[in-house]
Homo-oligomer: A and B are copies of this chain.
Amino acid sequence: MKKFINDPADVVTEALAGLAAAHPDLRVDTAEQYVARADAPRPGKVALVSGGGSGHEPLHGGFVGAGMLDAACPGEVFTSPVPDQILAATKAVDGGAGVVHVVKNYTGDVMNFQLAAELAADEGIAVETVLVDDDVAVENSTWTAGRRGTGATLLVEKIAGALAEEGGKLGEVAAIGREVNAASASFAYALTAGTTPAAGRPGFELPDDEIEAGVGIHGEPGRRRERLRPARELVRSALDVILEAQPLDRGERVIVLVNGLGGTPLIELYLIYGEVATVLAERGVEISRRLVGNYVTSLDMAGMSITVTRVTDEMIRLWDAPVRTPGLRWGA
Give residues in A with beta carbon < 8 Å to B: 2-7, 11-12, 14-22, 54-55, 57-58, 62, 77, 189, 191-192, 194, 208-209, 211, 228, 230-232, 234, 262-275, 277, 290, 292, 294, 297, 299-300, 302, 304, 324, 326, 329-332
In the assembled complex, the Cα of A208 lies from the Cα of B211 at a distance in Å of: 24
In the assembled complex, the Cα of A324 lies from the Cα of B16 at a distance in Å of: 28
- A270 and B332 contacting across the interface, CB-CB below 8 Å: no
* Contacting residue for A3 out of B4, B58, B191, B326, CB 8 A: B191
Given contacts A3-B191, A232-B6, are A18 and B271 in contact (CB under 8 A)?
yes
Residue of B nearest to A235 (CB): B4
Contacts of A14 in B (CB 8 A): 271, 274
- A267 and B21 contacting across the interface, CB-CB below 8 Å: no
Contacts of A277 in B (CB 8 A): 18, 21-22
* Chain B nearest Cβ from A17, distance in angstroms: 4
Given contacts A22-B292, A297-B266, are A271 and B4 in contact (CB under 8 A)?
yes
Contacts of A234 in B (CB 8 A): 4
Contacts of A332 in B (CB 8 A): 330-331
Task: Give the dominant DSSP class at A's interface.
Answer: mixed
* Contacting residue for A22 out of B22, B194, B209, B273, CB 8 A: B273
Sample of 17 more A-B contacts, CB < 8 Å, known A58-B266, A77-B267:
A2-B209, A2-B211, A4-B189, A4-B268, A4-B271, A5-B268, A14-B274, A17-B274, A20-B274, A22-B273, A22-B277, A22-B290, A57-B266, A262-B263, A262-B265, A264-B300, A292-B326
In the assembled complex, the Cα of A146 lies from the Cα of B325 at a distance in Å of: 38
- A267 and B55 contacting across the interface, CB-CB below 8 Å: yes
* Chain B nearest Cβ from A59, distance in angstroms: 10
Contacts of A20 in B (CB 8 A): 274
Contacts of A294 in B (CB 8 A): 266, 294
Contacts of A57 in B (CB 8 A): 265-267, 270
- B329 and A3 contacting across the interface, CB-CB below 8 Å: no
In the assembled complex, the Cα of A17 lies from the Cα of B330 at a distance in Å of: 23
